[in-house]
Amino acid sequence: MALKIPKIGLPQMLKDGYKHMQGLEEAVFRNIAATKELTEITRTSLGPNGRNKMVINHLEKLFVTSDAATIMKELEVVHPAARLLVLASQQQETEMGDSTNFVVVFAGELLQQAEYLLRFGLHPSEVIQGYEVACKKALETLETLSVDSISNCLAEAELSKIVMPTIASKQYGYEDLLSGLVVQAALEVMPKNAANFNVDSVRVVKILGASIHDSTVVRGMVFGREPETVVQKATKAKVAIFTSGIDVNLTETKGTVLIKSVNDMLNFSKGEEKHLEAAIKSLADAGVKVVVAGSTIGELVLHFLNRFNILAVKVLSKFDLRRLCRVTGATALTRFGVPTPEEMGFCDVVEAVEIGSDRCTVFRQDQESTKTATIVLRGSTQNTLDDLERAIDDGINSIKAVTRDGRLVAGAGAVEIELARALQAVAEKTPGLNQYAIQKFAQAFEVIPRTLSENAGLDSTEVISNLYAAHTQGKTTAGVDIESDKQGVLDAKEKGILDVLSVKRYAVKQAAHVAVTILSIDQIIMSKPAGGPKVKEPSKDWDED
């Protein structure tokens, strides 16, 4: 019997169900089309006038936000090329905490400009080479465009210079209020060496009700639950923190006890009670006024804590326990016992307060220095509070960025126009086919001022021509005026619209890198998706609930 020789070709080499696409039409242009769709989603959310997106994720949780990082995270993009854009924006969020939308929009524009060149006959490798040259030149030019710097990270006015524009791009109109809260909280926890500033030191607690103007900063921590004991306040208190629960020790084996008389019944649990009372009394004798437990606190334990006037709080998050240790200077103990003086913490005020209709426990340091500050945010809806928290996170991350590198560049699209002009000059002097790719890289920078003006309802063509005219006359800080009715141009430096140079540099590098990565793909080989249970379809009438 003769052996059957299979046909030659890639599909026959692979298992059934594999798809194989190659060439410009099938691979490159398809990838660019996918990234274009994704870019269009986030582009209208760029800047102070950015529109919100309503996203319902797979758990049917509703998000109403203009924050690109959140939109990307909740969209669950599956197209591999678009997924690369999402990963780049997530990396920008992780590393710098801001400019995620810039990465997506700029990378998408680079790919659209590359498509134009590819359709005109350039080879992808020629476009890639030109883009790499342009990116290197853009980063070199960016280093020379610093218009201001933050020299003293311990000065409120200095930090406000960068926090205010960062928050204005997310919560336009509330930037004065929110930046004041962020700067106040940051200065409370700012170490002597500003480079050691930890973003995690500023916490946000969201409490529904009242108005955003009722938001405050607390020097310490706020927990959204009241103390377990009758004692609701302690001042100048020594604090003992336990990661475990505090309860009567249960034996691992079961036993049977035969009770013959009334006295046996009365004395059955006396020994256990005496032991527990002695343990709580030794805590009180050591001067401990506040006990924090990481798990349950037994009824009998509460009885003795109340008797000895000790305030007890239950904190279920191990991360919050660690932060509380930093606030009070305590050491978290794994088992119940009397802590040594070194293991105890200290807190000026521990009290139960009512914020809105919520009972909260506040650990506040009035005289002592604190390593954690909490911004208590108030607002009318949960969505509003979530969006305010994202804006505050960006503000805190911008402070972290300027502690590393204090140089600032003009915002409002001014630095992008200046980079575009510099690259256009480079393109004119570059021989060969690289000049076309450099030219398109320069044009891609125009997408930022164009988007800002479109989102503000201005004529983008007129605004960009006015910006070029202003920059040609030497006004290198001229940017988009979103409040203008006429020319749409303002001096970004005068108005205090500034971006952190290091954030912008990282964003340009990320966007160029992801664009080059997508352009370098010439084949797509996909296996058949594995079977599995079908995902529950969302309700058709989700908006009528």
pLDDT digits (tens, 9 = 90+) for 325-371: 888 888 888 877 788 888 888 888 888 888 777 788 888 887 767 77
What is the rounded average pLDDT for all residues in the chain? Answer: 81
Locate the domains of the chain by residue range.
Answer: 14-147+410-526, 220-369
Considering the four listed CATH numbers 1.10.560.10, 3.40.50.300, 3.90.230.10, 1.10.275.10, the one that applies to the domain covering 14-147+410-526 is 1.10.560.10
pLDDT exceeds cutoff 70 at 77: yes
Rounded to an integer, what distance in angstroms lies between the CA atom of residue 93 and that of residue 400?
A: 13
Q: Is 532 exposed, middle or buried (0-12, 13-18, 19+ CB in 10 A)?
A: exposed
Kindly tell me if the per-residue pLDDT of 540 is higher than 70: no
- What gap in Å lies between CA 111 and CA 440, rounded to an integer? 10
Mean pLDDT of 407-430: 86
Q: How far is Cα 323 from Cα 329, in angstroms, rounded to an integer?
A: 10
pLDDT at 543: 62
Furthest C-alpha separation in the chain: 106
Cα-to-chain-centroid distance, residue 196 = 19
Q: Which residue has the higher pLDDT, 462 or 245?
A: 462
Nearest to 35 by CA among 74, 79, 91: 79
Amino acid (1-letter code) at residue 211 = S
The percent of residues in the chain predicted with pLDDT above 70, rounded, is 87
H helices of 96-148, in order, are 100-119, 124-142
- Given this model, what pLDDT does residue 532 score? 58
What confidence score (pLDDT) does residue 539 get? 65
Model pLDDT, residue 1: 45
What's the rounded mean pLDDT across residues 378-389?
A: 85
Task: Give the Cα separation of 391 and 50 in Å (integer).
Answer: 13
- The answer to whether residue 2 scores a pLDDT higher than 60 is no
* Percentage of the chain modeled with pLDDT above 90: 1
Q: Confirm if 246 and 302 have CB atoms less than 8 A apart.
A: no
User: Whole-angstrom Cα distance, residue 476 to residue 462?
Assistant: 18
Examine the pLDDT at 126 and tell me if it is beyond 80.
Answer: yes
139-188: pLDDT as tens digits: 888 888 888 888 777 777 888 888 888 888 888 878 888 888 888 888 88
CA distances from 536 to 111, 528, 533, 539 (A): 35, 21, 9, 9
452-458: average pLDDT: 85
Residues 6+ apart with CB under 8 A from 121: none
User: Could you check whether 14-147+410-526 and 220-369 share the same CATH topology?
Assistant: no
Distance CA 285, CA 341 (A): 12
For residue 530, the one-letter residue type is: A
Query: Cβ-count burial of 144 within 10 angstroms (0-12 exposed, 13-18 middle, 19+ buried)?
Result: exposed
Amino acid 249: pLDDT: 60
CATH class of residue range 220-369: alpha beta
pTM over 0.85: no
d(CA 468, CA 474): 10
Q: What phi and psi, each to the nearest 5 degrees, are found at residue 412?
A: 60, 30
Instruction: Read off the pLDDT of residues 33-54 as tens digits, 9 standing for 90 and up.
Output: 888 888 888 888 887 888 888 8
Burial 406-416 (b: 16+ CB within 10 A, else e): bbbbbbbbbbb
Q: What is the pLDDT of residue 197?
A: 82
Structural contact between residues 293 and 245, judged by C-beta atoms closer than 8 angstroms: yes
Helix pair angle (68-75, 80-95), 10° resolution:
140
- pLDDT one-digit tens code per residue, 252-293: 456 676 777 777 666 666 666 777 778 888 888 888 888 888
